[in-house]
Chain A
Amino acid sequence: MSLEQFLLAKGISAEKILEIEYIKAVVPQKEEGPSLHDDWVSAVDGSNPGFILTGSYDCLGRVWKNTGSCTHILEGHSGALSSIRIINSDGMTDVTVATASKDRTARLWKFDAEEVINHPKKIQAFKILRGHKASVQSIAPKTSGDMVWLFLLNCIFIDVCSGSWDCTINLWRTNKSNAEGDQVSIKKRKVNNQADESQLEAHGAQSSFSKAEAVSTLVGHTQCVSSVVWPEHETIYSASWDHSVRRWDVETGKDLSDIFCGKVLHCIDVGGEGSALIAAGGSDPILRIWDPRKPGTSAPVFQFSSHSSWISACKWHNKSSFHLISASYDGKVMLWDLRTAWPLAVIDSHKDKVLSADWWRGDSIVSGGADSKLCISSGIYIHFQGKSEIIDLHMEEG
């Protein structure tokens, strides 16, 4: 709607001085060529500015440096990957990655992203986390807020939580201090330790399952836990097919609060203002954002409904408290500003369902979809200072 139409529609005289508050639409500067996969790209992670991680339905995880150059292939899963996350994002040399797969396992990987190779290097997992009874839908590492505590223990623990179709969230803790020596898989449950010999043979070492550290299992969801995030040391947020978002206390294993939304939820992310807003999308075209600090209500504070199909992924910008992206099965990735009801940018580069999306380097959006492509839209400059420009507009008659 143009300004003239707007004035006519509202019956405002053109002589008047209008104060117009506007937010500039953001247009990606550059669409980089898609990185082609063999199968659907179900998971992406762009939290390390040096590379992009993707997980695919061909049971492989990939590491991409820029577009089109795959450096590492994470091999070993027997089912489609559902989630992939970088555990420590501080450097390039010693990268640890966690993947969740529909083969009911989660795996931990380690590689050096720095090394220069012209041929994709295949990497095996150094830990296999078994224990879920159904396919693992989501995995989330603990955001390393308290490194001091970790160093005091003189070894670095990897804390991971994962949500699954068996309605539980498992918390895993492994130490990676001597990962090179003997491959130690620590798992919460010591079931079926004999069934995965083939996996372990690939590592060439006998696993000792005696050190299993049962951190805990968070039971409470009644249906598939589709997404988990671990933004704070103590708290885990999870979204589930039972229409609820739950906040868990890690120490006690109890859920602190529930938010019911009425729809199946597929993705959740916590961020925004004070890293407290919960964004979640699910089996309807509405992206909902809750503020758990607001007492007495479980109604979402924001609802964005420009999508036309299920929302598969949502991600907050890690610096701005207003911006987030959402990916949907309608093939679009949308960039949202909390202050407007309309998307700032619509990235329509996918031909099919978009299954995952993430920020990369703060100004790019990476997304993977059912068209087996990883799309990178870069040059998105957003004003995350939160200052919208106000201009005065004086319209002449005629």
Chain B
Amino acid sequence: MREGKKGSTGASSLKKKEKLKKTKTNQNHNEEDNNTIITKKKNTKKTAKKVQFEKQEEEPLQKKKQQQQQLPTTDSQSESGSESDYEDFSEDDVSEDYELLRQSEDGESESSGEEVHGNHSDSGNDDYHGLEDHSNSSESHQGVEESDSSEDEVVPRNTVGDVPLEWYKDEKHIGYDISGQKITIKERQDKLASFLASVDDSKNWRKIYDEYNDEEIELTKEETKLICRLLKGKAPHAEFDPYPDYVDWFKHDDALHPLSNAPEPKRRFIPSTWESKKVVQYVRGIRKGLIKLDEPKEEEQRFYLLWGDDSSAAEQANRLSYIPAPKPKLPGHEESYNPSLEYIPTQEEINSYQLMYDEDRPKFIPKRFTSFRSIPAYENAVKDSFERCMDLYLCPRVRKKRINIDPESLKPKLPSQKDLKPYPATCYLEYKGHKGAVMTISTDASGQWIASGSTDGTVRIWEIESGRCLRIWEIGEAVQYVAWNPVHELPLLAVSAGQDVLILNSGFGNQEDQRKVKELLHVQTPTALDDSDNMASIVSWHQDDKHDGIRLKHFKTVTSVEWHRRGDYLSTVMPADILLFLSKKLSHRIPFKLHGLPVSSVFHPTRSVFFISTKKNIRVYDLVKQKLIKKLETGLREVSSVAIHPAGDNLIVGSREGKLCWFDMDLSSKPYRVLKCHPKDITNVAFHRSYPLFASSSDDCTAYVFHGMVYSDLNQNPLIVPLEILRGHKTSNGRGVLDCKFHPRQPWLFTAGADSVIRLYCH
């Protein structure tokens, strides 16, 4: 009858479940019990033998049950004495249910018994039975599941039911117990005391206040564990296996006596129409784009070696990779014992092999033999195979990295010369007349005349368009430098010869200009020397009556003369120092201390900046503030000439070793480009005033013309393209072209040669 009792308790728990929310603590117990009980039940259905055996087995199980049940009951026992009554009641109640349940079960067992015996088989019935079986088992599950919990359940004292507790807020009782007695509220400790008590009590955190029953419950360790597991979303009991192995109780296919012999129903073989409909629906959805399938995300490599060398990995792979040895050459016709005649080298060829290097010499010389018998043994056979083996084993093989780059593409892309026209290219005119090497030339601002100075001691003015010599001055000394005044209204010519600088009146310009020039060239005899005594020794101003000009006497040889753009100032360069003259007021001074001998000087085309080149460096001075602005380091051995771009930001420097430096002064104090083109000294460099051209002349009798484009965009570097080599001068005394100057308005270049000819190269 134990069984029966069990069942009744199960049924009672069903009811109780409706009544009150029970804590889930016991669920696991129930589940565990379930299994055992199910097995038990089934067994009863099978055979009497088994039942008996079962009963024996059951006893320890029941014991276990009771032990477990003790857990909650211990809690509840302390509550009230009326508990026993309640239990009675519930038992009665449940027993009726149980009876019902029993009946249905019996019916089942009957039918199943029939099946077991295999007396008759009904497919429809069988189907029903299968289902029944399941439902039944699940039912019994439930029933049994709840059965134990009744014992575990804490029976609430309060019987008011699920009413808001506010209703009893003002009452002294909180409800009624099962016998209808009022349950009075326990006396409360005041909060402070309770708080203090709670602080002292180490178990306090486990205590929960049950409002409904007005009591404090202390959770046991097991309970807290259960709570923890529930919070984690696991089954409350650790022993519970949520995925038990399926026990197929009614396996019928391979059983000797299957429970059901019914054939597989047809519908299991028919594809489900509903499924196909659903599939069609999805397909339509996908086609219309209503359903979007997630594209598989490409997994990006989240971290990579930022500073890693890309090649290293590949290289490592290469080193480890196997490189097969090259195949030996297959024997050809020439290695035949009797090759055709064309394979046989002639005696001459054999002799020529002797002259070759050992590596280049052919390894095998074909020979003819009349028959196989006459073939001698190959004396190198062992050596060859040995070498082959050596090659196979020991020869290090490295995969050659072939770079497929067209060498043409490595060249910098330069614009074609056609696009850079016009530039001077051919010589059409020669200006002949000098008897010595033409040292220097200078073009007049308008571009109508050119002045030249020569070692024969003359200064000549030529008409550019016709090549006619218009005027000759006999200076008497080799002329070092001539310079036209850049101002149109002052047709003056500065000539340096020996230690003197002469300022000559060219005689051009209209009367007004001439009058002005004459005024300017008039010097009172040395009176202006009072104020600057030390300078007097350096320069003295004299009227030159012979040439109708001014003679500036220096104490050393003057190498070059430069005019300022306004034509008021000119600078002369001596090996010792640089002097600046204010030609109008006839004052002069030495403004700067230089480190090294000055070679050349240039005025800035727009600002009051002055460039002095010494042999190694170029110093940039501000004339207004009188201080050094910049120092350009040429890196050259000896600077020979300097020219400044008309915009004023770029400078070219020619050197005695044939190098040409381009300085971008915004960029750095180092050369932007160094062009090594002349094999001999560069004598002069020149910029064109308006065209993007510059030129260099050299003692190798050539002049080079370059395209030198300076962009107004500061981000763009100047473009330098070599354009043309101008030849034509003959060397004389080891000197070639001594000077080059551009025409101020046309892309024409004048070159002065040591062969006493001035040439004009036109575009």
Taking CB atoms, residues of chain A closer than 8 Å to B429 are: 309-310, 329
Residues of B within 8 A of A263 (CB): 762-763
Beta-carbon contacts under 8 Å, A216-231 to B? 223-224, 226
Are B466 and A104 closer than 8 Å at their CB atoms? no
Given contacts A263-B763, A283-B762, contact A192 B467 (CB under 8 A): no
Whether the pair B762, A284 counts as a contact (CB closer than 8 A) is yes
The 9 closest A-B pairs by CB, nearest first: A195-B511, A309-B428, A283-B762, A310-B428, A165-B448, A223-B745, A192-B511, A264-B746, A133-B510
Distance (whole angstroms) from the CB of B716 to the closest CB of chain A: 27
B184 within 8 A of partner (CB): no
List residues of chain B with CB within 8 A of the CB of A224. 446-448
* 13 A-B residue pairings within 8 Å (CB atoms): A42-B466, A134-B446, A192-B510, A223-B447, A226-B465, A264-B746, A264-B762, A283-B746, A284-B762, A309-B428, A310-B428, A310-B429, A353-B466
The yes or no answer to A237 lying at the interface (CB within 8 A) is no
A370 at the interface (CB under 8 A from B): yes
**A241 contacts partner chain B, Cβ-Cβ < 8 Å:** yes
Instruction: Produce 1/0 per residue, B417-441, CB < 8 A to A.
Output: 0000110000011000000000000
Kindly provide the distance from the CB of B187 to the nearest chain A CB, expressed in whole angstroms. Answer: 120
CB neighbours (8 Å) of B446 from chain A are: 134, 165, 224
**In the bound complex, do residue A266 and residue B465 qualify as a contact, i.e. CB atoms below 8 Å apart?**
yes
The answer to whether B428 touches A329 (Cβ under 8 A) is: yes
8 Å CB interface, B33-58 against A: none
Complex contact A40–B746 (CB within 8 A): no
Binding site for B on A (CB under 8 A): 40, 42, 57, 80, 104, 133-135, 165, 192, 195, 223-224, 226, 241, 262-264, 266, 283-285, 309-310, 329, 353, 355, 370
Q: How far is the CB of B741 from chain A (nearest CB, A)?
A: 17
- Which residue of chain B has the shortest Cβ distance to A262 in the bound complex? B422
Q: Which residues of B contact A (CB under 8 A)?
A: 421-422, 428-429, 446-448, 465-468, 510-512, 745-746, 748, 762-763
List chain A residues, Cβ under 8 A from B510: 104, 133, 192
CB closest residue in chain B, given A130:
B510
How many A-B contacts at CB < 8 Å in the complex? Answer: 56
Contacts of B763 in A (CB 8 A): 262-263, 283-284
* Smallest beta-carbon distance A117→chain B, Å: 32
**Min CB distance, B46 to chain A, in Å?**
117
Q: Shortest distance in angstroms between B551's beta carbon and chain A's nearest beta carbon?
A: 28
**Nearest Cβ on chain A to B440's Cβ, whole angstroms:** 24
The answer on a CB contact under 8 Å between A355 and B428 is: no
- Chain A residues whose C-beta falls within 8 Å of the C-beta of B748 in the assembled complex: 283
Given A241-B746, A310-B429, A135 contacting B511 (CB threshold 8 A)? no
B378, chain A: closest CB distance, angstroms: 61
Residues of B within 8 A of A353 (CB): 466-467
Chain A residue contacts of B465, Cβ below 8 A: 226, 266
B383 vs chain A, min Cβ distance (A): 64
Query: Contacts A57-B468, A283-B428, A353-B466 known; A192 to B745 CB distance under 8 Å?
Result: no
Residue in chain A with minimal CB distance to B426 = A284
The closest CB in chain B to the CB of A195 belongs to B511
Contact check, A135 vs B762: say whether CB atoms are below 8 A apart: no
Cα-based distance from A266 to B762 in the complex (angstroms): 14
Q: Do B511 and A355 have beta carbons less than 8 Å apart?
A: no
For A40, list chain B residues within 8 Å (CB).
466, 468
Residue picked from A165, A224, A264, A355, most chain B C-beta under 10 Å: A264
Q: How near does chain B come to A119, taking the closest CB pair, in angstroms?
A: 30
Nearest to A165 among chain B residues (CB) is B448
Chain B residues within an 8 Å CB radius of A284: 428, 762-763
Distance in Å: Cβ of B558 to nearest Cβ of chain A: 31
**In the bound complex, CA of A284 to CA of B762 (Å):** 8
Bound Cα distance A184, B339 (Å): 112
- Contacts A165-B446, A165-B448 aside, 7 further interface pairs with beta carbons under 8 A come to A262-B421, A263-B762, A263-B763, A283-B428, A283-B762, A329-B467, A353-B466
A285 to B746, CA, bound (A): 17
Among B429, B446, B465, find the residue whose CB has the most chain A CB atoms closer than 10 A. Answer: B465
Least CB distance from A354 to B in Å reads 11
How far is A285 from B428 in the complex, measured between Cα atoms in Å? 9
**What CA separation (Å) do A104 and B429 show in the bound complex?**
25
Residues of B close to A310: CB separation below 8 A: 428-429, 762
Determine how close the nearest CB of chain B comes to the CB of A397; give it in whole angstroms.
46
Shortest B463–chain A CB gap in Å is: 8
Known: A104-B510, A241-B745, A310-B428. A135 touches B448 (CB 8 A): yes
What residues on A are CB-neighbors of B467 within 8 Å? Answer: 329, 353, 370
| Chain B residues, Cβ within 8 Å of A57 | 468
Q: A226: which B residues are within 8 A, CB to CB?
A: 465
Least Cβ–Cβ distance between A221 and chain B, in angstroms: 12
Q: How far is the CA of A165 from the CA of B179 in the complex (A)?
A: 139
Contacts of A370 in B (CB 8 A): 466-468
Query: What residues of A have a CB within 8 angstroms of the CB of B762 in the complex?
Result: 263-264, 283-284, 310
Instruction: Name the CB-closest residue of A to B467.
Output: A353
Q: Which of B510, B511, B512 has the most CB of A within 10 A?
A: B510
Smallest CB separation, A370 vs chain B (Å): 7
Q: Taking the nearest CB of chain A, how far is it from the CB of B298, in angstroms?
A: 60
Task: Collect the chain A residues with CB atoms within 8 Å of residue B512's CB.
Answer: 192
Closest CB in chain A relative to B22 CB, distance in Å: 107
Q: Which residues of B contact A285 (CB under 8 A)?
A: 428
Tell me the bound Cα distance from A42 to B463 in angstroms.
13
Tell which of B447, B466, B745, B763 has the most Cβ of chain A within 10 Å.
B466
* Distance of A168 Cα from B27 Cα, bound (Å): 119
CA distance A42 to B421 in the complex (A): 31
- Report how far A241 CA is from B748 CA in the complex, Å: 12
Instruction: Give the complex CA separation of A68 and B745 in angstroms.
Output: 41
With A and B bound together, what is the CA distance between A57 and B463 in angstroms?
A: 12
Q: How far is the CA of A134 from the CA of B445 in the complex (A)?
A: 13
- Hey, which chain A residues are within 8 Å of B511, CB to CB? 192, 195
B429, chain A: closest CB distance, angstroms: 7
Bound together, the chains give a CA A302 to CA B745 distance in angstroms of 28
Report the minimal beta-carbon distance from A311 to chain B, rounded to whole angstroms. Answer: 10
The smallest beta-carbon distance between A133 and chain B, in angstroms, is 6
CA of A262 to CA of B762 in the docked complex: distance in angstroms?
12
A370 to B510 alpha-carbon distance, docked (Å): 27
Cα distance, A262 to B447, chains bound together (Å): 17
Tell me which of B421, B422, B466 contacts A355 (CB under 8 A): B466
Within 8 Å CB of A165, what residues of B?
446, 448
Residues of A within 8 Å of B428, CB to CB, are: 283-285, 309-310, 329
Output the least CB separation between A369 and chain B (Å). Answer: 11
**Nearest CB to that of A328 among chain B residues?**
B428
**How many angstroms between the C-alpha atoms of A165 and B421 in the bound complex?**
25
A355–B428 Cα gap in the complex (Å)?
14
**Chain B: which residue is nearest A167 at the CB level?**
B446
Whole-angstrom CA separation of A355 from B763 in the bound complex: 21
- Complex: how many Å from CA A177 to CA B422? 51
Q: Would you call B448 and A134 a contact (CB within 8 A)? A: yes
Question: Smallest CB–CB gap between A95 and chain B, Å?
Answer: 27
Q: How many Å from the CB of B688 to the closest CB on chain A?
A: 15
Assembled-state Cα–Cα distance A248/B511 (Å)? 31
Nearest opposing residue in chain A for B511, CB measure = A195
In the complex, what distance in Å separates the CA atom of A233 from the CA atom of B446? 32
B760, closest chain A residue (CB): A283
Q: How far is the CB of B763 from chain A (nearest CB, A)?
A: 7
- Nearest A residue to B422 by beta-carbon distance? A262
B262 to chain A, nearest CB (A): 103
**CB proximity of A218 to chain B, nearest CB, Å:** 19
Chain B residues near A283: list those with CB within 8 A. Answer: 428, 746, 748, 762-763
Taking CB atoms, residues of chain B closer than 8 Å to A104 are: 510
**A199 to B446 alpha-carbon distance, docked (Å):** 27
Q: Which residues of A contact B421 (CB under 8 A)?
A: 262
Separation in Å of the A60 CB from the closest CB of chain B? 16
Residues of B with C-beta under 8 A to A195: 511
Given the complex of chains A and B, what is the CA–CA distance between A339 and B746 in angstroms?
Answer: 33
Rounded to whole angstroms, the CA-CA distance of A224 and B429 in the bound complex is 19
Give complex CA distance A329, B428 in Å.
8
CB distance from B689 to the nearest CB of A (A): 13
